[in-house]
């Protein structure tokens, strides 16, 4: 039987597992800023979507995107190591981007650790372009590459 993963908005009970994934997959070596309380705040924030991708009740990945008037900001995106390179990250990002498109936003920004070339390659594959470097963005110790994706209608070919 083939199980197709589903994407849904996170519930309060997902805050703990999401915070754990953030610490393990994204904030390694930096200390822990996306604690359970902070994730819970994001889940309850009306201008933020916290999405999870799950299969048979088990969370395999998550993403957090905030929506402003003109632009959205992707705060976090992570997929369980054993499930990577299977399209789950792209599916989660696409789900969050669709909300930005539907809201008529112009662009999406995000920062990725400069020491994480795999993530930068992933974002470039999803249509994001590097627009700058932010020195010491993470706790003053790790630089960030800022990336941007412009939304809106593509010219007809």
Ligand X SMILES: CC(C)(COP(=O)(O)OP(=O)(O)OC[C@H]1O[C@@H](n2cnc3c(N)ncnc32)[C@H](O)[C@@H]1OP(=O)(O)O)[C@@H](O)C(=O)NCCC(=O)NCCS
Binding site for ligand X (CB under 6 A): 25-26, 76-79, 84-90, 112, 116, 118-119, 121-122, 125
Nearer to ligand X by Cβ, of 104 and 121: the residue is: 121
Least gap, CB of 24 to ligand X (angstroms): 9
HEC string for the chain: CCCCCEEEECCHHHHHHHHHHHHHHHCCCCCCCCCHHHHHHHHHCCCEEEEEEEECCEEEEEEEEEECCCEEEEEEEEECHHHCCCCHHHHHHHHHHHHHHHCCCCEEEEEEECCCHHHHHHHHHCCCEEEEEEEEEECCCEEEEEEEEECCCCCCC
Least gap, CB of 63 to ligand X (angstroms): 8
Nearer to ligand X by Cβ, of 25 and 67: the residue is: 25
Residues paired with residue 79 on neighbouring β-strands, in sequence order: 61
Least gap, CB of 51 to ligand X (angstroms): 12
Least gap, CB of 119 to ligand X (angstroms): 4
Position of minimal CB gap to ligand X: 89
Nearer to ligand X by Cβ, of 15 and 92: the residue is: 92
Distance CA 147, CA 56 (A): 33
Least gap, CB of 156 to ligand X (angstroms): 26
Nearer to ligand X by Cβ, of 39 and 112: the residue is: 112
Nearer to ligand X by Cβ, of 40 and 78: the residue is: 78
């Amino acid at each position: 039987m083939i199980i197709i993963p589903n994407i849904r908005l996170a519930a309060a009970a997902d805050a703990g597992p999401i915070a754990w994934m953030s610490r393990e997959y994204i904030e390694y070596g930096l200390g822990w800023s996306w604690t359970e309380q902070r994730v819970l705040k994001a889940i309850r924030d009306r201008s933020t979507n916290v999405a999870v991708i799950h299969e048979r009740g088990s969370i395999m990945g998550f993403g957090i995107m905030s929506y402003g008037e003109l632009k959205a900001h992707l705060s976090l995106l992570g997929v369980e190591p054993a499930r990577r390179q299977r399209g789950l990250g792209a599916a989660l990002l696409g789900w969050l981007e669709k909300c930005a498109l539907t809201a008529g936003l112009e662009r999406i920004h995000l920062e990725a650790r400069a020491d994480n070339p795999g993530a930068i390659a992933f974002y470039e594959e999803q249509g994001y372009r590097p627009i700058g470097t932010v020195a010491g963005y993470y706790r003053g110790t790790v630089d960030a590459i800022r990336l941007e994706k412009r939304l809106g209608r593509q010219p007809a070919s």
